[in-house]
Structure 1
Amino acid sequence: MNTLVIYTHPNHKSLSYAFLEEVLRGSKENAKITEVKVLDLYEAGFDPVLVFHENRRRRDMYREPELAEYREQLLWADQIVLVYPIWWGRPPAMLMGYIDRMFASGFAYRDKGGLLPEGLLKGKSVVCISSMKGPTHYPLLWLGNSHKILMRKALFNYVGIRKVKFFEFGNMESKKGKQSKKLEQIYRYFKTVG
């Protein structure tokens, strides 16, 4: 299984980075994971800004040459792992910009003229690992589960990815946040997934 890990946090001393390290540690010990590639969106200098004008049309976005390497990574991956914080009830703008640019018509899905498109990324799986300062159940109780609905239904199911797993950790800035236990949980999951 080829695994692409997309890391989205500007600080390598963050808890998100510690989660990334546990993904890599567990994956290294898992015989079912053949290769792992890490895309650090900040380190790579990924440009999350959409630009459309008379010479750059939205319908041609899937052919943008500067995104070819990123498209190849997504096609190569059997498993896509997203590691990011929850800010203002959603993933960081950098990750949302990556999603806007990468999951384009003609690459991630194809319109068929009906209600729903044909997802072109079928057969892949996704794991979302997110952490937040707020309480664990904040997204569910206060935001109507908007984070999971956004990621699962509005994005991944739309492009054909049906297997989506969430690790959504709250209270991560609290001394009672059980950070070590959560890190160990991620390590154990990636050591055995497949």
Structure 2
Amino acid sequence: MNILLVHAHPESRSLNGALKDFAVQRLQSAGHSVKVSDLYEMNWKAAVDAADTTQRLSTTRFDVAFESKHAFENGFQSEDIGREQEKLLWADAVILQFPLWWYSMPAILKGWIERVYAFGFAYGVGEHSDTHWGDRFGEGTLAGKRAMLMVTAGGWESHYGPRGINGPIDDILYPIQHGILFYPGFDVMPPFVVYRAGSTDESRFARIRDELGQRLDTLFSADPIAFRPQNKGDYDIPALTLRSDILPGQTGLSVHVSDRKSESRHLTE
């Protein structure tokens, strides 16, 4: 299988750098083909601007979405954007690897998303009607591929627990897993998170490496997060709200993850 690893850490001798090297070796040893986009090494340009297109749609006003669409559809994208889109289309699975900085991904990785996820490539795809609101959230250009986050965090695991001060890790990563990965169609695997990253000695690193190896070995066989597809009946369209008979009275991010067995049991009681 083909795997793209997008790495966002400025220091190759960091824990992230070591995990990246281990992941590549483990995946290649299993027979996979691996490409790495090391964003800092590539000196990736994070900011979206008019230089992202070689031929402007308008020279008076830079409209990010429509300039992106015009460039993508007409072959006017800058070469770096096109190369990363080709990697995404080549890949059967994508791993985004980064340290959790200020409750999100580093700016350079966010900039990779903003520039590579062009209008017509990752969003603005499919028909919009009273029954189908675009090919997104389970459908889209990247449907049929898998994705996983490899994340390091400085805090303790309890800090990111259900009652932890930082908030549940699943909630913190929801905008990335649901909004960046599931949106264009990826099947999203549960994240691999390393807590207390700054307190990692050789023995702990060996344990982390073993745990990561097991996750990588099951990248194509384990079950993804059961995010609810947008256009398969769980949501009222065009309001895009969860149907009132599904988890009635419940709110929050967790309602967008399905527990089909318990919901089917509830509906038949």
**TM-score bucket (shorter structure):** 0.7 to 0.9
AA aligned to 1:51 is D
Deviations 1:150-191 (A, max 9, x none): 112111111111233300111111258933211222123324
CA contact under 8 A between 1:79 and 1:126: conserved in structure 2? yes
Are the structure 2 counterparts of residues 12 and 155 from structure 1 closer, same or farther at C-alpha, using a change threshold of 3 Å? same
| Structure 2 Cα separation of the partners of residues 48 and 175 of structure 1 | 30
| Structure 2 Cα separation of the partners of residues 111 and 138 of structure 1 | 40
Pairwise mapping of residues 48-127 of structure 1 onto structure 2 (< 5 A)? 48-51=46-49, 54-55=58-59, 56-58=62-64, 59-61=66-68, 63=72, 64-66=77-79, 67-109=81-123, 110=125, 112-113=127-128, 116-118=133-135, 119-127=140-148
Match of 1:143 among 150, 155, 167: 167
Sequence identity (%) = 24
AA aligned to 1:130 is V
- Secondary structure of 2:89's counterpart equals helix
Match of 1:25 in 2: 25
- Secondary structure of 1:147's counterpart equals helix
Stretch of structure 1 that moved more, 70-79 or 151-160: 151-160
Are the structure 2 counterparts of residues 73 and 137 from structure 1 closer, same or farther at C-alpha, using a change threshold of 3 Å? farther
Deviations 1:88-123 (A, max 9, x none): 111111111111111222001315335843122101
| Structure 1 Cα separation of the partners of residues 102 and 188 of structure 2 | 26
Are the structure 2 counterparts of residues 172 and 37 from structure 1 closer, same or farther at C-alpha, using a change threshold of 3 Å? same
TM-score under structure 1 length normalisation: 0.88
TM-score under structure 2 length normalisation: 0.65
AA aligned to 2:148 is V
Deviation, 1:137, is 4.0
| Structure 2 Cα separation of the partners of residues 158 and 191 of structure 1 | 25
Deviation, 1:75, is 0.7
| Structure 1 Cα separation of the partners of residues 218 and 183 of structure 2 | 28
For structure 2, which runs of at least 5 residues remain unmatched after alignment?
Answer: 51-55, 221-269
More strand, by proportion: 1
Q: How many residues align?
A: 192
AA aligned to 1:50 is V
